[in-house]
Chain A
């Protein structure tokens, strides 16, 4: 078959593909409209509107993400008398600005120094677990006394995991560990307003070897005196 013919066939296939994608879209939108009353697991229109206005959904104008946009990289087909084709730069890509990296590093060091000075103790966990051990409760009791006697301070509890398992599931596990430590501090009388939690999953390990001595160091709720925002 001639290249030209193949090319036209390709274009025809793409058009067919678009109509194939289009049909489920229409069906999908119809389902969406009915979804509010059809299923209890789906929120009503009123709830989604509240969510959009009050809670953390960006007000910025977001560009159109639907797949109708231009396509600069398409193939033009082999040709018996090829004309010269200019190949553009390998993916136009903006240079990342390293400006904020230095600020982050300064803030990290300040937090580490403040946390060390406060003598805060971390809580360690068993594999795949977010249950606070007796040792963990003792550490948290000491931390609670310190926070209660320093009313202006903000304590950040970071949840960390060892490298086993997926990145995503470890972010969930890390949050469970941080929240377990936070909840125990609240039980001990620490005002919740002085506490915040964040999960780093397995993305900020304290120790990088692939063995249990290292893993046990990484399964922790790390206590940090929060600086900055």
Chain B
């Protein structure tokens, strides 16, 4: 790295970002807390390509032949599994982290295209229940706002063990966002920096989890599916243990998964990339003969229909989006550039979700800022975006000759890099080499 001024040279080790962080730490004495997800370069779905059909495979006619996208979640134990029309759901994000209008917009957008949205730490608001035709209720270690009435109103329950941005860490919501309503829902004093526990208060380990899952089934009379959400780390074992404990659906969140407020060191240095985690989870499910019986929903860096299709091809049953959904609502939009600059940032870079000053009115509890987001228009944008993701995934699936997006398979893909080939377990493009796998003679 050389500057425009010859003779002065930037260190790769101590580059400007590193120097700035050391100076910030020295001045404040506290770790950097921020929102968004991992920003470092990681192997990802961009490193995979599809092999379209040609002589050895034949494609489906783009605008004539069906390529279905519906998925059923929770088919094993629940009396009422969830039917979603597209293989893309909205990930858990709390009221508190997000404004009430943002939660409403997520509900409207998801409902318009027939998919689920998910509550978060802090409980269920009446608005999100009203505007989400299919709502998943998160059951978190803090149990903020947790009550059995809301549990019974949910269409599924998601036991959150971890999230990709911070596997092994609890949540936090800083005082700026603990308004009276948020504080009341969480039984906390207004204005304090809220800490969330990282472990559930009344169970430890997979054997206890099995009993907890039965309790949740008992309370809801075995009506709704029970999901278990894990951050991607020891994914093979965690998936097996969650299935053994009785999960109907595994939610797997890779390290690129977003957050509203987490230590930067946690976001960037804990967990494994989504690309590496998916095959581990699929392996576990296949070894237990549970693949496609227990559904696998994957989140963490899904941005496009290509990401959706590649993730499904690796064996996921659906994907889930958080950060991308907020961007669809208007997060980091250039129309708010002047306001971003006042906060010392710029459209496209804003990640201080924890400060509650979001110019787009999404990650805030400030009523004036929150009113900037029209939930109807925001919901429409989200629905548009979800439709584009679905159309893109269908386009790729048809090109591979698949009449359902879930018929995509690893055999349809190759990798651009050795790392991606090893993680995704597909051959390096132009070869039959999968690093770590013996060649068949």
**Do A and B assemble together?**
no
